[in-house]
Amino acid sequence: MSQIDLHGVFPPITTPFIDGKVAHDKLGSNIEKWSKTGLKGIVVLGSNGEYVYLSEEEKRKVLETAIKAAPKDMFVIAGTGCESTEETIKLTDDCAKLGAHAALVITPHYYGGKMSDSALIKHFTVVADNSSIPILLYNVPKFTYINVTAGVVSVLSQHPNILGIKESSGNVNLLGQYINNVSENFKVMVGTAGVLFGGLSIGCVGGILALANVAPEQCVTIFDLVNESKFEAAKNLQLKMIPVNNAVTAIYGVPGLKAAMDMLGYFGGEPRLPLLPCSEKEKSEIRGILQTAELL
Amino acid sequence: MSQIDLHGVFPPITTPFIDGKVAHDKLGSNIEKWSKTGLKGIVVLGSNGEYVYLSEEEKRKVLETAIKAAPKDMFVIAGTGCESTEETIKLTDDCAKLGAHAALVITPHYYGGKMSDSALIKHFTVVADNSSIPILLYNVPKFTYINVTAGVVSVLSQHPNILGIKESSGNVNLLGQYINNVSENFKVMVGTAGVLFGGLSIGCVGGILALANVAPEQCVTIFDLVNESKFEAAKNLQLKMIPVNNAVTAIYGVPGLKAAMDMLGYFGGEPRLPLLPCSEKEKSEIRGILQTAELL
Amino acid sequence: MSQIDLHGVFPPITTPFIDGKVAHDKLGSNIEKWSKTGLKGIVVLGSNGEYVYLSEEEKRKVLETAIKAAPKDMFVIAGTGCESTEETIKLTDDCAKLGAHAALVITPHYYGGKMSDSALIKHFTVVADNSSIPILLYNVPKFTYINVTAGVVSVLSQHPNILGIKESSGNVNLLGQYINNVSENFKVMVGTAGVLFGGLSIGCVGGILALANVAPEQCVTIFDLVNESKFEAAKNLQLKMIPVNNAVTAIYGVPGLKAAMDMLGYFGGEPRLPLLPCSEKEKSEIRGILQTAELL
Amino acid sequence: MSQIDLHGVFPPITTPFIDGKVAHDKLGSNIEKWSKTGLKGIVVLGSNGEYVYLSEEEKRKVLETAIKAAPKDMFVIAGTGCESTEETIKLTDDCAKLGAHAALVITPHYYGGKMSDSALIKHFTVVADNSSIPILLYNVPKFTYINVTAGVVSVLSQHPNILGIKESSGNVNLLGQYINNVSENFKVMVGTAGVLFGGLSIGCVGGILALANVAPEQCVTIFDLVNESKFEAAKNLQLKMIPVNNAVTAIYGVPGLKAAMDMLGYFGGEPRLPLLPCSEKEKSEIRGILQTAELL
């Protein structure tokens, strides 16, 4: 079933808005630009895509545009996780029909105290059973306050339609625990560029990285250098990217990522409320960080 | 504008499902039963109503049924908070048109690190500006990992269309800070029955209490006893209710609340996936707790 | 064995330093002043006494001075908890010999992940077995990141030499759980003045309150009003004290408590490093808070 | 000043007890065994040395024994951090006089909310000003709930007598932030073996690793493989060691580390109370983990 190749770098792309509406042309032109940077594919409708602010119809439209804009050799993964199992199944099915190569499914998290190992295993199993495209688990405790254990990942890795996991906490030890416990074909992907080298050092096959929205070439280069065992060069580029990655994730979040995109020739624009756009002061700080990293 | 009276007890009611579909008849019969217990009103589409598992259309239908079933002297509050400001405005408007007396709006929380005081103030202000019914803020860090500060509540309490807050963490000191800092007509409501007396002791005007789904009379009695300064009797009933409240909230959650409803003559039923229904062992433990508290 | 009466208010007193040395005369004069305010006793060598910055010998000397300075009708409780069980036993024995009426024993916490229910039960049991004075458990997750469960307290409450618990998180629901599960003579004391009324409303017998260092009369008055069922007056004074309590605990900590003492006729002085003394700006804010509360 | 070489692996060694007393002969024989494994040195009186359960005199005696037992080419670092600045200075001075090559100083943490950047900078600066041996900062949020920021480390790295930091959270991104912001000669050491390769990949010069108590050769081999850019071999050995490291740290803690030592030819023995020794069941699990990793 799984024809998607995860060995490489994927940006979880932002969703551009103009006057509060999805700007499909900007989405298309961003993807065209990204397609020339060595990326393996893109993830739409992820956390950096403000998926929680999109209606179901908007989600489908964004995916349609992305699939149309992406060249044939780029893979398109769609974020399809919802709080309810049933809604997740439905959205995954919609996205499969539209041509997504795989679905990235976040852990449900609202009733966090009840999201036991059993509940998570049940949820992902039922979703995978009902999906015609491969499923990627998505662990992102920063947003969900849930941390999927190696035990859960081990069980789910046996499912023929669960292909891998994106782990975004940046906990390299946890990545290693996953890798130690999963079935042979299951792929572990590092979910934050701050530990791209760290994640690859422990056996991750690729990365889904917010930073790759603004520094795709650098992410791809780190990936390549590690695969060529060019330790010192990989380390130096990794260190150089850490402040940029922190800026567009931990410090300034999605608004900062979009502001950085605007500075680097992509269309970023403003996030939807309640996310506030970056202030001028914040933009100036981001500009400084990009300059120090020689991205500007 | 605000004709709703919050001095009393409101259950955030569960949403009954049969075979995965909303069971509107059961919803109606539950409300009829609650209406004879001294409750001031009900909250639909809250956390205990599994609002995150309901589609927009289901939400409207549930509200319609509730308004139809509730006697004229009961107030109906609708949970209308969504992650995006725009979607919250739209749902609030829908609910107002359907006849809700007020809207309970949860803090947006997915991008928790970006939900600064400014972002929260902006969100609630814009929602209140665009609502034809009064807004109640909803602070529930157990689910959102966001704790609204007294400073934010103070600012928002000045808005003519923001009527009060439901505070569900059970932090009595925080309740006192809210009360110390809000405008005169702003109402602070305790959001968990474990500290009903504690909340009233510091000036809360009423409570929105999961426990009131299964023990409405007892909640109303505590409320009345405190208002009559019957300290000892209030304390004793409060202590008796604490284990029941812990069971139907912290320990067994919504599935446990629904199981307890089934035992006490209401229709509880099963939650939607990924919430798992209580096991037989858990049901037996809940039954024991209800018996000890003389509810069974 | 237990001749100590816990029905009332106890301040966990600060340790005064001059030029880095314990100022025993100031300690004595503070106690003399407190002894005229209706307090039931004092706690020395607690968190507000900077016990972690005192050598064993200093601890004994501070206790000696306190016992000498306290009138016969005031009880003196000594904080004797150390990380190791053996050291706790030894210090408790020393304090018993010096005349302390009871020992307040904090949960060991450095290896927090290993402080299981079994480990805590073992620790407190062995300490109580070897003590000639009654033991009070001390739950203070703000400093220890450990929260003693009602189950542990229930077991320990059966020990003839464990008299009660000071619970400092201010979680009124947890206080209720303790009270529901302990043996008849076991005393639950509220450990933060922000929920003094809240704690008493659920059955606490008294309070050990940092605020009582600077506002002993007010704390005693709240205690008395609640016992007289003067609900409204108790509520109003409680609300008035909340900002002061927050200032001398959560916001400015021990340095702030000491600064407030200096403003109110007690000797506060500076804390030991690494605690930094309050800045002039912070002192000015504290002064404003004291004035608003009519303590100044 | 700094003659100590941190490029290599150091175990933070356990303190052996027999009948509750420090077993100095076992300490000596352990060190003799470790000295033949390629370790660069040892750390005594650290977290794994149960330093919080040792009296001042015991600490000095343990250090004396360690220095006597260690061959001349091994470095001996002493854990000297106490809660108070003054006590830390005194213990550091004692250890310097006894011959320690450097002091590892933990962040004070009891009053965590007051351990601001300013307070930490002041503390470490005063300690370093008054020490005749180089100071290593020690960041271990698992025990302290304090996470030293890159900003603080940057400032302190300018101090001529502050040599480096042991970072034990295993956050590789944070390690990178430290490395990006410190002065040229400042050394960042990874503090948990689960991310030894990850830490080295980002520029750490060595590791202080609990795992090195039981698997010193394997830790040294990972260190060497990385330095030789033998990526694949390093990854495989790293993955093999992760379960062992988790066992002797996160899962079973110091009692588990000591039990594993007993199985591997070192003297482990029992920890001091309140730490409970491993049960037979836990020992059996540990044995299984050691066997899987081919250490047994």
Which chains border C (3 or more CB–CB pairs < 8 Å)? B, D
Which pLDDT value is given to residue D12? 98
User: How far apart are alpha carbons A101 and A118 in whole angstroms?
Assistant: 27
pLDDT at C198 over 90: yes
Q: Which pLDDT belongs to residue A3?
A: 82
Quick one: pLDDT at residue A125?
98
Q: What is the mean pLDDT of residues B66-78?
A: 97
Out of B114, B253, B276, closest to residue A275 by CB = B114
Return d(Cα D202, Cα D197) in angstroms, integer. Answer: 9
Q: Assign residue A92 a region: left if phi > 0, alpha if psi is -120 to 50, beta otherwise?
A: alpha
Show the tokens assigned to D12: 């933070």
Nearest to A86 among B145, B254, B272 (CB): B272
A46 touches chain B (CB under 8 A): no
Choosing from A59, A166, A187, A258, which is the catalytic residue? A166
Closest by CA position to D179, among listed D187, D167, D190: D187
Tens digit of each residue's pLDDT (9 = 90 or more) over D159-218: 999 999 999 999 999 999 999 999 999 999 999 999 999 999 999 999 999 999 999 999
Tokens of C270: 């500076």
Write the pLDDT tens digit of every residue in B142-200: 999 999 999 999 999 999 999 999 999 999 999 999 999 999 999 999 999 999 999 99
Angle between helices A231-246 and A216-227 (to 10 degrees): 150
CB of D264 within 8 Å of any CB in chain C? no
Q: Which of A52, A123, A127 best tests the B interface by mutation, with the highest count of B CBs <10 A?
A: A52
By residue count, chain B amounts to 296
Give all domains of chain A, ordered by start, each with its CATH number. 8-231 (3.20.20.70)
Percentage above 90 pLDDT, chain D: 99
Q: Answer whether residue D270 shows pLDDT above 90.
A: yes
Q: How far apart are CA A23 and CA A269, in angstroms?
A: 10
Q: Which residues of D touch A202 (CB under 8 A)?
A: 197-198, 235, 238-239
Distance CA(C278)–CA(C257), nearest Å, equals 10
Six token digits for residue A138: 């998505």
Below-50 pLDDT ranges, chain A: 1
User: Taking a contact as any Cβ pair under 8 Å apart, which residues of chain A between 192 and 211 contact chain D?
Assistant: 192, 194-195, 197-198, 201-203
Paired with A139 in beta bridges are A167
Rounded to 10 deg, the angle between the A117-129 and A85-98 helix axes is: 30
For the four alpha carbons of C238, C241, C242 and C243, in that order, the dihedral sign comes to positive
Across the interface, whether the CB atoms of B176 and C238 are under 8 A apart is answered: yes
pLDDT single digits (tens) C217-262: 999 999 999 999 999 999 999 999 999 999 999 999 999 999 999 9
- Residues from chain B that touch A248, judged by Cβ atoms under 8 A, are none
A215 SS3 class = coil
Percentage, residues of chain C above pLDDT 90: 99
| Encoded amino acid at A154, one letter | S
Which residues are paired to A118 by β-bridges? none
Q: Is A61 a catalytic residue?
A: no
Instruction: Report the DSSP beta bridge partners of residue B43.
Output: B12, B77
Mind telling me how many Å the CA of B118 is from chain A's nearest CA?
A: 8
Express each pLDDT in D35-63 by its tens digit.
Answer: 999 999 999 999 999 999 999 999 999 99
Q: If contacts are CB pairs under 8 Å, which of residues 115-134 in chain B contact chain A? A: 115-116, 118-120, 122-123, 126
ipTM higher than the 0.95 cut: yes
Is residue B51 within 8 Å of residue B66, measured between CB atoms?
Answer: no
**Is the pLDDT assigned to residue B41 strictly greater than 60?**
yes
| Interface size between A and B, measured as CB pairs under 8 A | 96
SS3 D168: coil
Across the interface, which of A86, A114, A276 has its CB nearest the CB of B119? A276
- pTM score over 0.95: yes
Of the residues C26, C40, C59, C166, which is catalytic? Answer: C166
State yes or no: pLDDT of C135 exceeds 90: yes
Tell me which residue of C48, C47, C128 sits closest to C92, measured CA to CA: C128
Amino acid at the residue D258:
K
Q: Do B231 and C235 touch (CB under 8 A)?
A: no
Binary contact (C52, D110; C-beta < 8 A): yes
Nearest-by-CA chain D residue for C56: D55
Report CA D290 to chain centroid distance, whole Å.
21
Residue C162 has pLDDT above 60, yes or no: yes
Which residue shows structure tokens 């409970």?
D276
- What average pLDDT does the segment C8-13 reach? 98
What pLDDT does residue D3 have? 83
Question: Any bridge partners for residue D208, and if so which?
Answer: D10
Strand partners, D162: D135
Query: Is residue C193 scored above 80 in pLDDT?
Result: yes
Do A and C make contact via 3 or more CB pairs under 8 A? The reply is no
Percent of chain B whose pLDDT exceeds 70: 99
Average pLDDT, chain C: 97
The number of residues making up chain D comes to 296
**Is a pLDDT exceeding 50 seen at residue B1?**
no
Q: Neighbours of B (≥3 Cβ pairs closer than 8 A)? A: A, C
Considering chain D, what percentage of its residues have pLDDT values greater than 70?
99
pLDDT in tens, B260-275: 999 999 999 999 999 9
Per DSSP bridges, beta strands D75-79 and D41-44 are parallel
Q: Which two tokens stand for residue B91?
A: 């749902």
Residues whose CB is less than 8 angstroms from the CB of residue B67 and which lie 6 or more positions away in sequence, other chains included: B76, B98, B99, B100
Distance CA B137, CA B103 (A): 9
C-beta atoms of C119 and D143 within 8 A:
no
Chains touching A (3+ CB pairs < 8 Å): B, D
Q: Where are the alpha helices (DSSP H) in chain D?
A: 24-34, 56-69, 85-98, 117-129, 141-144, 150-156, 172-181, 196-201, 216-227, 231-246, 253-263, 280-292
Chain C residues near residue B194 by CB distance under 8 angstroms: 172-173, 176
Tokens of B195: 């500290």
What was the pLDDT predicted at D1? 46
Residue C163 pLDDT exceeds 90: yes
Q: Which two tokens stand for residue B222?
A: 């505590």
Task: Return the C-alpha torsion angle C166, C169, C170, C176, nearest 10.
Answer: -60
Residue B3: band (very low, low, confident or very high) from pLDDT cuts 50, 70, 90: confident
Contact A176 D234 (CB under 8 A): no
pLDDT tens per residue across span D23-33: 999 999 999 99
pLDDT higher than threshold 60 for residue D2: no
Q: Does C146 touch chain D (CB under 8 A)?
A: no
